Amino acid sequence: MKIVRLAHETDFGGWRRAARALRSAGVSPEAVAWTAGEQAQLGEEVTVADGDCAFPVPREFVELARDVVLHRDPARFALLYRLLWRLRNEPGLMHVATDADVARAMELRKGVERAAYRLKQYVRFREVEDDKGAAYVAWIEPEHRVLARAAPFFVERFANMRWAVLTPDACASWDGEALSFSPGVSREEAPADDAQEDVWRAYFAATFNPARLKVKAMTAQMPKSLWRNLPEAQVIPRLIQQAATRAETMVGAPHTEPSKRTARAVARSVRDGTFDDAYVPTSVADVWTAVQACRRCDLWRDATQGVAGEGPARAALMFVGEQPGDQEDLAGKPFIGPAGQMFDKALAEAGVPRAETYVTNAVKHFKHEPRGKRRIHAKPNVGEIRACRWWLENERRLVRPKVIVALGATAGQAVFDRPVSVSKDRGHPFDLGDAQGLITVHPAYLLRLPSHEDRARAWKLFVADLRAAWELAGGSHAEGASSGA
């Protein structure tokens, strides 16, 4: 049996040198014992010369070993050497999380990571004054030897503060410029109190809900072994003890009646919530407000808001699209998303000033299907189009357009109140009684066309349709008309 004595408990460099030498000498794991620091001598100790492994060691292993040596398990050096030994014949070993040795090493790493995390969680600084001003000192007993691992976290967080973290294994201190380490100390070296801890305990107690007592869920994360260094833990027994009574008092206490004002408000909102058919909007602004309360179909439920039309109170030309899309739904304005930008470009090319036209949709709420973090456009059905036609009719009555252009088949259904075909009915006006109706494609159609040629052809036709509609409505193509009147 060979015994390797490492300089100290976290002597990764020493372990690495010895392990390399032993491995290249072919010393099997069973024939080596590992020890560190000043422990009693158990047998013949060896000094190992520098050596090199006769095979490449994967980086994952070196990183794992670096973590594992910080664990307090006395068998950690032997475990690491056994893994190194096996790596020669099993080069993929580090990927086999299901292997017993790998699983154990991973478990140790997890323990080390948890201990480092707990240091970040549970360090409680106490303020002390010295000749240079305020400094902050903490005492903590980490489960593993992770102080050096976690210290940079405090440097980054408290770079402009002087602080020290004291532990039985080692101490770290930061003077505002450099981090230094010194040997461990006893608890008595740390400050005994900080007046702010009383305020912190008050917060801790007040943020606890006695009706949700779950002691095990707390101790799983904050085991009792840590409590002696946590100022807030002092009040935990009292909180647990009083929880039952406090919760029962809340449940048993007499109710408070809502204020009269609230009772009236509830009655009013119940009335408002059911949409009233007898309501008649008297302006386009009214339409915008009232459509928010619309319950004529269910689409309002998953939409952000109703998006009514936009434009002057009177306009000779009205455009009707399908429904607001994702962007329109968020912003509350029609035709601002990708199809809206396409529409704007086409209007500009046709010399139609959008600001002089009224732009709206057949359906006022965004119909969609959730897909993870996206909403996918869904086509409104005939029932929804019919339900929403009520709003379109009101907009037509108020805006009094001479010409109405339906953009796409859904808009066609709404404007003509019957199924229409863009390809068949395009290019000639229909008499709608109060106005003339035209149909053309929806600008989103242009976005969907795959080939460049098809897109260019469709674009020309679309622009021509817009221009024809504008002329039919009596609009003029003054130079720069597209920038508004």
Partner 1 sequence: MAVLDLKRKLEILADAAKYDASCASSGAKKRTSLDGKGMGSTDGKSICHAFTPDGRCVSLLKILLTNFCVYDCAYCVNRVSSNVPRARFSVQEVVDLTLSFYRRNYIEGLFLSSGIIRDSDYTMEQLVRVARSLREDHDFRGYIHLKLIPEASAHLVQEAGLYADRLSANIELPREDSLKAFAPEKDVRTIKQAMGLVRLGRESAKPDPKTKAQPKRFAPAGQSTQMIVGADAARDDEILARSEALYAGYGLSRVYYSAFSPIPDSSARLPLAQPPLMREHRLYQADWLMRFYGFTQAEIAGSSVDGMLDLAVDPKLAWALQNRDRFPVDLNTAEREVLLRVPGLGVKSVDKLIASRRWRRLRLEDVARVCASIARVRPFVIAADWSPGGLTDRADLKAKLVAAKPPEPQQLSLAL
- Closest approach, Cβ 205 to partner 1, in A, equals 8
For residue 253, the SS3 value is: coil
Q: Which of 368, 389, 442, 467 binds partner 1 (CB under 8 A)?
A: 368
Tokens of 123: 């360090």
Q: Please identify, among the stretches 31-39, 149-157, 276-284, 467-475, the one whose residues bind partner 1 according to the rule CB under 8 A.
A: 149-157
Comparison of 62 and 215: residue with beta carbon closer to partner 1: 215
Is 198 a binding residue for partner 1 by CB under 8 A? The answer is yes
Q: Which of 183, 273, 419, 433 binds partner 1 (CB under 8 A)?
A: 273
Is 178 a binding residue for partner 1 by CB under 8 A? The answer is no
Comparison of 1 and 96: residue with beta carbon closer to partner 1: 96
- Closest approach, Cβ 480 to partner 1, in A, equals 27
Q: Which of 33, 46, 240, 422 binds partner 1 (CB under 8 A)?
A: 240
Is 110 a binding residue for partner 1 by CB under 8 A? The answer is no
- Closest approach, Cβ 302 to partner 1, in A, equals 4
Q: What is the four-CA torsion angle of 186, 190, 196, 199, rounded to 10 degrees?
A: 10
431 C-beta neighbours (distance < 10 Å), count: 8
Comparison of 100 and 485: residue with beta carbon closer to partner 1: 100
- Closest approach, Cβ 213 to partner 1, in A, equals 5
Q: Which of 196, 225, 283, 289 binds partner 1 (CB under 8 A)?
A: 196
Sorted by sequence, the CB contacts under 8 Å of residue 261 that are 6+ apart come out as none
Q: Which of 51, 168, 191, 332 binds partner 1 (CB under 8 A)?
A: 332
Q: At CA 134, angle to CA 131 and CA 137, rounded to 5?
A: 110
Is 206 a binding residue for partner 1 by CB under 8 A? The answer is yes
- Closest approach, Cβ 256 to partner 1, in A, equals 5
Comparison of 240 and 348: residue with beta carbon closer to partner 1: 240
Is 121 a binding residue for partner 1 by CB under 8 A? The answer is yes
What is d(CA 29, CA 19) in angstroms, rounded to the nearest whole number?
10
Is 59 a binding residue for partner 1 by CB under 8 A? The answer is no
Please provide the DSSP assignment of 178-199 as one string.
-EEEEE---GGGS----THHHH
What is d(CA 404, CA 426) in angstroms, rounded to the nearest whole number?
13
Please provide the DSSP assignment of 367-416 as one string.
-EEEETTEEEE----HHHHHHHHHHHHHHHHHH--SEEEEESHHHHHHHH
Closest CA to 347 of 469, 485, 472: 469
201 to each of 194, 232, 244, 307, how far by Cα in Å?
A: 12, 5, 20, 50
Number of residues that bind partner 1 (CB under 8 A): 96
Look up residue 414 and give its amino acid: A
Is 239 a binding residue for partner 1 by CB under 8 A? The answer is yes
Tokens of 368: 């969609």
133 backbone dihedrals φ, ψ, rounded to 5°: 115, -150
Is 285 a binding residue for partner 1 by CB under 8 A? The answer is no
Comparison of 377 and 455: residue with beta carbon closer to partner 1: 377
Is 130 a binding residue for partner 1 by CB under 8 A? The answer is no
- Closest approach, Cβ 334 to partner 1, in A, equals 15
